[in-house]
Structure 1
């Protein structure tokens, strides 16, 4: 409801009215409020209740830039250490899946859901291949804004032709970063991965207050319980 704009920035929320609105008890609402506060979508009020936080473009941009640095470091270290067989196999499987997805020359919302899942696996494997727990810890702290997380993709339903070009280009970057890592070209892998994060910077503009948010969808949100897939 927050991501869709149904609960706008600045709106005050209390446990009882929200529980009645959603038809649940107060306990899951209390847990959800605390979780959303930790994720940066709600702020605790001095008195009882919470308020929907206004997330600025600058905050999202900063988080994405930090993510690019961290994932770039992961790609560098994965290249230096070399891919294990199971890492290489999974990355190649992701690339083949993406190739098949974009081969037809267009995408649907269902295609982009599939891309979202594949994209998560691809990024997760590179971070795992770096074998650096500090990167994982830093990424966990940075991903408090859902639009800045690799776990959620914002798409424009009204311009799927443009989205095809955007995500197909991102997939070509997947090919390039894999090639660099596989050939132990650490500096090249790091540069590509950092540039790859910049493809996300347009997400913040999609959610400008003057934008028709009904045209946009955030893939990676489980609407059954309101939690992000990441």
Structure 2
């Protein structure tokens, strides 16, 4: 998917999360494209992706309807992803990284460091992070040497927010998004360190915790936006304290 297409997809996810596109609302390509000021093509692609993610339901006639998503549904899907990715991290640590896998993970970490070291992020930075995040997770799954994990994750990704690609960005609060994604990047460093030092149990625990960070979406669906924001402020402050 192109950068422009990824931006449209992320925007529509955020609109669903925030309630701007309400559960049960019928959506169609042309009015949505006009609303976002883009052509129909990226909207069409985004609608198909959101259907695969379980956020939209295709209607028998033209168009889609926004699905109602419960906190329990989100939480369960993310919990499963955490278990699977935690297993992948543990097995990767036990097997050991190949030189190519180690190099790829280090390159992702270095790119993330460059994005976050300036103390703020732009929308373009977060689009870059989306790509490096996908590659980082994919390399860990590859390093596990267990194809059943990849197969199970593929099935789980059809549930809302279960995919590592299902990132949303609040473009109206990039300061908070910087804290959120920088914290996730620090977790990437921690899990790489555990895998690289062949510490399987530690790697598994960090990776499961990393997935759990996504559960803030369940809080948003439950109407706890302020609580979620406070949690991420606390997490960011804890990360800053640890770096001192």
Fold shared by both chains (TM-score > 0.5): yes
Check if 1:106 corresponds to 2:106.
no
What does 1:112-151 align with in structure 2 at a 5 Å threshold? 112-151=126-165
Unaligned residue ranges in structure 1 (runs of 5+): 212-230
Secondary structure of the 2:168 match is strand
What is the aligned counterpart of 2:187 among 173, 190, 199? 173
Contact conserved, 1:65 with 1:198, CA < 8 A, in 2?
A: yes
Q: Is the 8 A contact 1:2 1:8 kept in 2?
A: no
Asked whether the equivalents of residues 76 and 187 of structure 1 are also in contact (C-alpha less than 8 Å), the reply is: yes
Aligned equivalents of 1:20, 1:196: Cα separation in 2? 37
- Normalised to the residue count of structure 2, the TM-score between the two structures is 0.71
Q: Is the alpha carbon distance of 1:98 and 1:43 closer, same or farther for their aligned partners in structure 2, counting shifts above 3 Å?
A: closer
Q: 1:161 to 1:51 in 2, by over 3 A?
A: closer
Q: CA deviation at 1:32?
A: 9.1
Deviation at 1:204, TM superposition (A): 3.5
Q: Which residue in the other structure is 2:178 paired with?
A: 164
Deviates more, 1:138-147 or 1:74-83: 138-147
Q: SS of the counterpart of 1:121?
A: helix
Q: Which has more strand, going by share of residues?
A: 1
In the TM superposition, what is the alpha-carbon distance from 1:116 to its structure 2 partner? 1.0
Shift of the alpha carbon at 1:52? 2.9
Cα RMSD of the aligned pairs, angstroms, is 3.0
Contact 1:64 1:148 in 2 (8 A): yes
Inter-partner Cα distance in structure 2 for 1:88 and 1:32: 33
User: Structure 1 175/147 Cα, relative in aligned 2: closer, same or farther at 3 Å?
Assistant: same
Query: 2:210 aligned to 189, 196, 202, which one?
Result: 196
Task: Give the structure 2 partner of residue 64 of structure 1.
Answer: 78
